[in-house]
Amino acid sequence: MSKKILIIDDDAEYRQLMGEVLSLEGWSVLEAADGETGLEAVSRERPDVVLCDLLMPRSNGFLVCRKIRSDFTLRHTKIVVASGQDYDSDRLAAREAGADEYLTKPIKPYDLLALIARLTDDTTIMAPPEVIPPTAPPQPAWLKFWGVRGSVPTPGPGTVRYGGNTTCVEVRAQNQIVILDGGTGLRPLGRSLLAEFQDQPLHITILLTHTHWDHIQGLPFFTPIYHPRCRVRILGFEGARRGLVNVLTGQMESPYFPVPFGELPGNIEVDELKDLEFPVGNLRVRAWFANHPGICVGYRIHTGNELIVFFPDNEPHCRYDEAGQPQPTRAEASLDYARSQESKMIEFLHGADVAILDAQYDRPEYEKHVGWGHGCVDDVVMLAVRAQVKRLFLFHHDPDHDDNRLDELLARARQIVTREKSPLAVALATEGQIVRFAPALQPA
Ligand SMILES: [Zn+2]
Ligand SMILES: [Zn+2]
């Protein structure tokens, strides 16, 4: 299919001249006589290149550039601004507005052809980093907690031991860097990655469970997205109301943030997942739906040797009484239904070396939050016991729980493990903590 170029210019003679030259070179040429008509054609036709005049009626060239660059889905469209004026300030302003090149009229047609051939050379368009050939033998897998808090960051003296940043976990396995969720823990993680990789290329995959604030707010502050040598691939499922790209670009629109998503200099791909099973390099990943408002999933990562399951926001379907017997939740009156849902979750979690699970509430708190989509520590421990998880990390700590309160939750969790005579190791996810998988996982 021939590539499309849109010429936006109020000079009909110029459009015709350039159009003829480009058509002879195999380009499919579209024309618009003013900025607004041009923008309509851009969104309708999605051209590979826009050749845009600067001074023209109904939206000048700067506005046209800005408008195109505010649409993330048009990020591969190249913009060449052509102007009869040759001021450095115009060049700078056009670049700032998102133009890829600036030419001064009159333009020699073959100069233009050489320029757009260079701009649209397919080798310059980034391919998604689907499979990165290993450059070194795989290192033993490990993971690190960068944010363990639910809902909202909670800095302060009461949270120094377990941490105040929201959801973010780094997984390293099979030479892949996988980040689970982009809460505020993503900010220090980005700095750490850049310090570690220095000038080397950096390939990162971010798996988003859902787009509640505590899972995406670190993204605008994740420094690799500002470095052209970094490739960041963001994967997640479409939300209940808006596509993933719209949600992620929306949180960086003015007036919320000064840098629009479409203008980030890093190589960023946002891919909406359609299937529940997919690879990330040599890692096998499965997703499953959480019991949480909207569309929210958990991920199960098989590294080849280890199984890691991440369910940061999830309300277990089954409740357990003091003696460990299942009880129907108020939200799901039918015990049978709850059990059938739980059995799917048990299958998903089964045999995990590490399970990171939402355990936001203790039993009295949970009574007041049934149906909110978060876990009660008693039920979460029973779920992990029944799924024969080896090591459970209680996660998504409530913003109102200080370190001492979290110690009480852990004590309660360990009581249940003892009562069940289970070999399950249980700990509180702690910001900064590294969990290594080799040579063999040692219980906490
Ligand atoms: Zn959350
Ligand atoms: Zn949530």
Burial classification of residue 258, based on how many CB atoms lie within 10 Å of its CB (0-12 exposed, 13-18 middle, 19 or more buried): exposed
In the predicted structure, residue 138 carries a pLDDT above the cut 80: no
Query: Torsions phi, psi of 130, nearest 5?
Result: -65, -60
Q: Distance, CA 57 to ligand 1 centroid (Å)?
A: 48
Q: What pLDDT score does 134 carry?
A: 46
In the predicted structure, residue 42 carries a pLDDT above the cut 90: yes
Superfamily of domain 142-436 in the CATH hierarchy: Ribonuclease Z/Hydroxyacylglutathione hydrolase-like (3.60.15.10)
230: left (phi over 0), alpha (psi -120 to 50) or beta: beta
The whole-chain average pLDDT of the chain stands at 89
Q: What pLDDT score does 125 carry?
A: 35
Q: What pLDDT score does 374 carry?
A: 97
Q: Distance, CA 186 to ligand 1 centroid (Å)?
A: 14
Peptide bond into 224 cis (omega under 30): no
Q: Distance, CA 292 to ligand 2 centroid (Å)?
A: 7
Q: Distance, CA 294 to ligand 2 centroid (Å)?
A: 8
> What percentage of residues in the chain have a pLDDT greater than 90?
61
Tell me how far CA of residue 317 lies from CA of 76, 343, 378, in angstroms: 44, 9, 12
> What percentage of residues in the chain have a pLDDT greater than 70?
92
Tell me how far CA of residue 392 lies from CA of 68, 381, 413, in angstroms: 47, 8, 10
Q: What pLDDT score does 1 carry?
A: 67
Ligand 1 (single-atom ion) residues, CB below 5 Å: 150, 212, 214, 313
Residue type, 14: Y
Domain(s) labelled CATH 3.60.15.10 in the chain stretch across 142-436
Domain(s) labelled CATH 3.40.50.2300 in the chain stretch across 4-124
Ligand nearest to the CA of 240: 2
Judge contact between 336 and 372, C-beta under 8 A: no
pLDDT band per the 50, 70, 90 thresholds, residue 332: low
pLDDT band per the 50, 70, 90 thresholds, residue 330: low
Give the 3-state secondary structure of residue 65: helix
Judge contact between 188 and 276, C-beta under 8 A: no
Question: What are the residue ranges of helices labelled H in 76-185?
Answer: 88-97, 109-119
What fold is seen in the domain 4-124? Answer: Rossmann fold (3.40.50)
Q: Work out the average pLDDT over 363-381.
A: 95
In the predicted structure, residue 333 carries a pLDDT above the cut 90: no
Q: Distance, CA 60 to ligand 1 centroid (Å)?
A: 43
Q: Distance, CA 313 to ligand 1 centroid (Å)?
A: 5
Q: Distance, CA 160 to ligand 2 centroid (Å)?
A: 23
Q: What pLDDT score does 96 carry?
A: 83
